[in-house]
Each structure stands twice: as C-alpha cells, then as structure tokens.
Amino acid sequence: MIEYSEQILLFLVSLLANFFSALAGGGAGLIQLPALIFLGLPFGIALATHKVASVALGVGATIRHLKSSRLERRFALFILATGLPGVILGASIILQIPDRAAEIALGLLTMGLGIYSHLSPELGQTLNIKNRHKKGMLVGGVVIFMLGVLNGSLTSGTGLFVTLWLVRWFGLDYKAAVAYTLILVGIFWNGSGAITLGLLGDIHWLWIPALLAGSLIGGYFGAHVAIIKGNRLIKTTFEVVTLLIGLKLIVG
C-alpha cells in the first residue's frame, strides 16, 4: 500500500538534495541517502535505491546543460573510460566491508576540498585548459579511476571530487566542470553503480517514482541556476556543500 504522505516527503527531500547537487556539482547523498536510512531502509538497499534515483539528477541537469554547454566528446569519453571500471569495482566491494572508518576519512578529505577551494579565490573562475598531454592524461585518468571507486562505494559527495579534479588538474572553470560531472557521473557512473548494486543487492522500487521525480526536477533547476549565476555562485555553493558533507560523514 502506498503512503502518500511518505511519497510527498521523499519527493521534497529528493528535490532539495538534487537542486543543491546540480548547483555544486555533487552532494545529493548528503541529504537523500541519510533520509532513506532514517525512513527505515538498510544501508545496502538505501544505497542502491539512491543510486537509481541519482540517475535522474543527471538526466535533469543534462537537459538544461545541453542547451548552453559545449562538451568535448573525446574528453567526455576519457572520463567515462577511466571512471566506469572504478565505479563497478567500488559497487562490487562496498556491500562486503564495514564503511565507518572509510566514511570518516572521506569526510575529512571532503572538508579539505572545500577549504582548499575557499583558500584559492580564483580557482575555477576562468577556463584554462591544461594537462592534456600524454603524462597529464595518464595521471588524470588514474585519479578519475580512484574517484570512480569512491563513487561506486561511498556515494555521499564523491561527484564533488570529480568536479574539483576537473578544475584543478585539467583547468576547467566550475561551470564546465559541473556540466561534465552531472552528465557523466550523474547518468553513466551512477547508472553503472545502480545496476551493480541492484544485481548484488536489492532496490526499494516503491520509493523510486517519487525520488526520480524530485531528482529530475531538482537537477534541471539546479543546473539552470548554476548556468545563469555563473562560476562565483557555483564555487561558493561547492565550498558550503563540501563542508556540510564532510561534517555529516564524520559525525555519522
């Protein structure tokens, strides 16, 4: 039996989480995953259910970004080719290992991202493509693979790592980096993680429609605000979200 009050709550939680995620370039798990656990789902089922819903964030953001963003096809394929194997690996092992210590370490590292960005006022404000040579792509690809492992296993905020890495290593501005993250991580990385977790565990399908609707709408309007307001607002939102996610992961 469907509890309509529960569905409305799920929709609102998903809408809020994915709006800020689309604006910052990641972080929907800060609100959405703990909410699913609080409402009664075990961690593994909540994680798989969240992954499925997060795909709609990518779809909603993609619809908006494709109207104004010009993504490089070869660079996009590079992110997919290096990141997807890591996602599948991470999703395959997360249900078999305790995650508390990893969450604390990830929380500290996530907070570090926000602090680093805050202490670098001009970071990501202008497009300055770099490290596209062979060595630079190799180093960049290895890090993206490791971020894929994190994305597949510990879902809270790992898209933010991809966003900052694209800014710091490859010289993208925040607006371009967020577009790549939301489209490639949101749809393909999260989609692969959802399939892997679904095959190895369970998904709470009764809650999926409300979560998908909230993710789709929140993703679209978050991306819209990011595009209209530009790099400065995205950077500020990124820093706030990373600090909040870091605290949440550490406190538990």
Residue-wise DSSP of 205-250 = GGGHHHHHHHHHHHHHHHHHHHHHH-HHHHHHHHHHHHHHHHHHHH
Of 75, 79, 24, the residue nearest 231 (C-alpha): 24
Q: Are 165 and 78 in contact (CB under 8 A)?
A: no
Tokens, residue 250: 């550490």
Of 139, 56, 146, 47, the residue nearest 95 (C-alpha): 47
Tokens, residue 33: 């995953």
Q: Are 201 and 38 in contact (CB under 8 A)?
A: no
Name residues whose C-beta falls within 8 Å of residue 98's C-beta, 6 or more positions apart in sequence.
Answer: none
CA angle 67, 70, 74 (to 5 degrees): 135
Query: What DSSP designation does 41 have?
Result: -
pLDDT at 98: 60
Low-confidence ranges of the chain (pLDDT < 70): 1-2, 69, 94-99, 101-103, 106, 154-157, 252
Q: Are 151 and 186 in contact (CB under 8 A)?
A: no
d(CA 132, CA 171): 10
Burial class (CB in 10 A: 0-12, 13-18, 19+), 3: exposed
pLDDT at 3: 75
d(CA 186, CA 183): 5
d(CA 182, CA 232): 18
pLDDT at 149: 87
Residue 21 lies in domain: 4-251
Distance between first and last Cα of the chain: 31
pLDDT at 186: 82
pLDDT at 26: 78
d(CA 155, CA 55): 13
pTM: 0.82
pLDDT at 197: 76
Q: Please tell me the total count of domains within the chain.
A: 1
